[in-house]
Amino acid sequence: MAGLFYWNGEIVFHPSPSTVRHFFDLVFVGVGYNGRDQSFTYSKLKYRNHASLPPKRVIRSMKLSRTVVALFLLQVLLLPMVAVAQTADINAQIRKEGMENSKIMHTLHVFTDLYGPRLTGSPNHVNAAKWGTEEMKRWGFDHVALEPWEFNHPGWVNDRNTGLMISPVADTLTFEVLAWTPSTKGVVTADAVHIVIPTTLSSTTPPVQQQPTQEELTAYLNSVKSQVQGKIVLVGKPSSIDQSREPSPKRIPDEDNAKRYDPDPAKRTAGGPGRPNQTPPTPRPNALTGAQVGEQVDKFLLDSGALVRINESQLDRGAVRAFNNRTFDITKVIPTVVMRNEDFGRISRLLADGTPVRLEFDLRSHLVPEGTTSYNMIGEIWGSDKKDEVVMLGGHLDSWHSATGATDNAIGCATMMEAARILKAIGVKPRRTIRVACWSGEEQGLLGSQAYVAQHFGTFESPKPEWAKFNGYFNIDSGTGRARGMNVFGPPEAATVLRDAVQPFADLGIAGAINSSGRGLGGTDSTSFNAAGLPGIGVSQDPIEYFNVTWHTNLDTYERIIEGDVKASAVSIAAALYQLVMRDEMLPRFKTEDMPKPPPPPTPTPTPAASPRP
């Protein structure tokens, strides 16, 4: 617009009759606001050429323009307040839907009671993922899929197991089978023997036991070779667990949690579970690594004709934590179980006292050849004007096989599916695409999420087109405890966005957000995104007996879930998700010159100089 215009006695511009009318048209049409998708609607009036208007009409138009500008400025001042009010209304709807109409416990029930456990490569995992996609479709998601990636190992399924002490007394033993180990050849009954691989007490850190050298290991295995043939072999010392130790707290005190997420890094305290700082032990010259010792002991037992291997759980109160044969090749190990501390200790004490112990095992499992290909479960709610930009949320759907994988991590997937469902249910029309991802292969090393990131995004150093359109990945993977804060890979401004988003839900226990800069792979799938230079957002939680009780154990079942906590988590995450899919700008990222460097690749472990000849 050109010319002069009087406003409060000052000349601003002077409009021609046509520009006055045109300005009038544009001002009065910007009145439509949709709070759910934060969009303005303009119904522009038809433009007419007013160059021939009579002078009196021009004067009236100029007088009217003062009112027009006043209304325009009023609109400019009020719209931010309208937006705040609309956000508050959306937050109220999110809270109501998440607390009163939640589907989270039903989703958990199906994943655990019907399809648990969900070991990567197993039919249970595939069937759980198929059901999850169908459920999201029933909720109205726009697109669902199972995206394949190559696991390169056959699946493994545990069919049935029995283990008994036959003498000196009859008893049923509590144990779990190590995954990717073979079945026994029918029912096997044999005497038990106990071997303990020699270790050396660290000279600098006395509690630490260090591994043997190759010569020490070879000498020991040769000395016990004749004892293990045709026997059931206990391997390792029984654990002595301090019964006077206080149990870990279930909740993080609000005051402590607020300090962990203080916006001022100088006032922030460290959080999360951990061990007291210790001086690392001085490396023992020529000592083998634990993996090298394990590989050689496996081969020794196989070559020596042992029937069953028994490891100890190193947990108390009947908990058993069983992982897998590290090679995934059942021909390289003998049938192996992980026995509860109480049974292992009893048998070892009887043997140490000179009392013969006779055991019986019937272990049955089978391989799944098609399990070499695994799948990530994907569901999308498509965006509108920013559809090509994506906000992701998820957790891992795979579990270990000792229980039904409720806290690790069926409830994480159920929570993230629920957060997206909440926005769909209340009618949000997202500007960016919402993508739920439930991974497989997490328990074997973040394999599913790493494959997905590599396929879709690439890395900061070698990006694919989607890398630039990525707007954050929320991840939850620490059990049933309510969400207490968020940690985003990115600059401090990214944490500010998330902190503001969750602040209205502080009453649910979430304290805020902080930023981080590490690109190393960690213990959960958000770090697969961090490693690529993308904003992974890890959600921290109250511990609720996660690492010390349910994590990877036979106690990880539906009964461990606290409904109120997981509903609160879904609500808080849905609110943060809403902000990321609706805001004008993308979540702030590190600038090119500020992007942290990836960590160096790990140093390969040297091959032992000699192999034992048992």
**How many other C-beta atoms can be found within 10 angstroms of the C-beta atom of residue 40?**
11
Q: What pLDDT score was predicted for residue 44?
A: 37
Q: Given pLDDT bands bounded at 50, 70 and 90, which one contains residue 194? A: very high
Whether the pLDDT of residue 368 is over 90: the answer is: yes
Average pLDDT over residues 361-374: 98
Q: Which two tokens stand for residue 270?
A: 């460290």
E strand or H helix at 393, and its extent? strand 386-396
Q: Check residue 192 and give its pLDDT.
A: 98
pLDDT at 599 over 50: yes
Model confidence pLDDT, tens digit, residues 423-477:
999 999 999 999 999 999 999 999 999 999 999 999 999 999 999 999 999 999 9
Q: CA-CA distance, 167 to 55, in Å (whole number)?
A: 115
Residue 610 CB coordination number (10 Å): 11
pLDDT of residue 67: 63
Residue at 90 is within a domain: no
User: In angstroms, rounded to a whole number, what is the distance separating the alpha carbons of residues 259 and 271?
Assistant: 9
Count of other CB atoms within 10 angstroms of residue 172 = 9
Question: φ, ψ for residue 472 (rounded to 5)?
Answer: 115, 145
Number of domains in the chain: 3
Any bridge partners for residue 549, and if so which?
none
Q: Is 423 helix (H, G, I), strand (E, B) or coil?
A: helix
Reduce the DSSP state of residue 448 to 3 states and report it. Answer: helix
Radius of gyration for the alpha carbons in the chain, expressed in angstroms and rounded = 31
Average pLDDT, integer, range 209-234:
97
Average confidence (pLDDT) over 194-218? 91
166 and 131 co-located in one domain: no
Residue 131 has pLDDT above 90, yes or no: yes
Do 308 and 389 fall within a single domain?
Answer: no
132 and 174 inside one domain: no
The yes-or-no verdict on residue 42 having pLDDT over 60 is no
Instruction: Give the C-alpha separation, 308 to 161, whole Å.
Output: 13
Span of 186-200, 260-274, 354-368 with lowest mean pLDDT = 260-274
Encode pLDDT of 388-436 as tens digits. Answer: 999 999 999 999 999 999 999 999 999 999 999 999 999 999 999 999 9
Q: Find out whether 310 and 337 touch, Cβ atoms under 8 Å.
A: yes
Instruction: Choose the final residue of a domain: 60, 85, 110.
Output: 85
Are 60 and 194 within one domain?
no
Q: Is residue 406 domain-shared with residue 320, that is, in the same domain?
A: no
CATH assignment of the domain containing 468: 3.40.630.10
Cβ atoms of 394 and 88 within 8 Å: the answer is: no
Is 325 in contact with 178 (CB distance < 8 Å)?
yes
**Domain interval for residue 111:** 101-142+382-594
End position of a domain, from candidates 344, 370, 396: 370
User: Is residue 612 included in any domain, yes or no?
Assistant: no
pLDDT tens-digit map of 498-549 = 999 999 999 999 999 999 999 999 999 999 999 999 999 999 999 999 999 9
Q: What is the pLDDT of residue 16?
A: 40
Q: Is residue 283 part of a domain?
A: no
For residue 429, what is the DSSP state?
-
- The arithmetic mean of pLDDT across residues 308-312, rounded, is 98
State residue 14's pLDDT score.
Answer: 39
Residue 352 sits in the same domain as residue 300: yes
**Confidence check: pLDDT of 38 > 70:** no
Contact predicate 614/304, CB 8 Å? yes
Whole-angstrom Cα distance, residue 372 to residue 150?
Answer: 6
C-alpha angle with apex 54: 50 to 58, nearest 5 degrees?
Answer: 65
Lowest-confidence pick of 64-73, 125-134, 141-150, 389-398: 64-73
CB atoms within 10 A of CB 368: 17
Within a 13 Å sphere around the CA of 96, how many CA atoms are in the beta-carbon half?
8
Q: What is the pLDDT of residue 203?
A: 77
Q: Residue 317 to residues 341, 370, 548, 550: CA-CA distances in angstroms? A: 8, 37, 11, 12
| Residue 15 clears pLDDT 50, i.e. is over it | no
Model confidence over 55-91: pLDDT tens digits? 555 445 555 556 655 666 656 565 555 556 778 899 9
Is the model's pLDDT at 606 over the cut of 80?
A: no
Residue 268 lies in a domain: no
Query: Does residue 21 surpass a pLDDT of 70?
Result: no
Retrieve residue 564's tokens.
């109120």
**pLDDT confidence of residue 202:** 85
Question: Within a domain: residue 96?
Answer: no
Q: What is the pLDDT of residue 337?
A: 98
**47 and 114 share one domain:** no
- Statement: residue 607 has pLDDT above 70: no
- Same structural domain for residues 568 and 482? yes
Cβ-proximal residues to 128 (8 Å cutoff; 6+ apart), any chain: 110, 111, 114, 115, 116, 118, 397
Tell me what pLDDT residue 34 has. Answer: 47
Q: Specify the pLDDT at position 13.
A: 37
Select, from the ranges 14-18, 57-61, 272-276, 485-489, the one with the highest average predicted confidence (pLDDT): 485-489
- At residue 415, what are phi and psi to the nearest 5 degrees? -65, -45
Binned at pLDDT 50, 70 and 90, residue 324 comes out as very high
- How far apart CA 531 and CA 524 sit, in angstroms, is 12
- The answer on 25 and 53 residing in a single domain is yes
pLDDT of 486 higher than 60: yes
CB of 184 closer than 8 Å to CB of 363: yes
DSSP output for 241-278: --TTSPPPPSS--HHHHHHHT-SSGGG----S------
Indicate whether 572 belongs to any domain. Answer: yes
DSSP, collapsed to helix, strand or coil, labels residue 328 as: coil
- Taking a C-beta distance cutoff of 8 angstroms, is the pair 435, 391 a contact? yes
Indicate if 195 and 342 belong to the same structural domain. yes
> 324 in a domain, yes or no?
yes
**Mean pLDDT lowest among 73-82, 156-165, 550-559, 587-596:** 73-82
* pLDDT reading at 27 higher than 80: no
Which tokens go with 231? 């026997």
Tell me the sheet residues that pair with 380: 143, 435
Distance CA 194, CA 339 (A): 14
Give domain status of residue 309, yes or no. yes
The mean pLDDT of 306-314, rounded to a whole number, is 98
The mean pLDDT of the chain is 88
The answer on 356 and 293 residing in a single domain is: yes
State the pLDDT at residue 208. 87
My answer on whether 182 and 210 are in the same domain is yes
Please determine, for residue 295, whether its predicted confidence score (pLDDT) is greater than 60. Answer: yes
Residue carrying the six token digits 């006055």: 20
CB 119 within 8 A of CB 179: yes
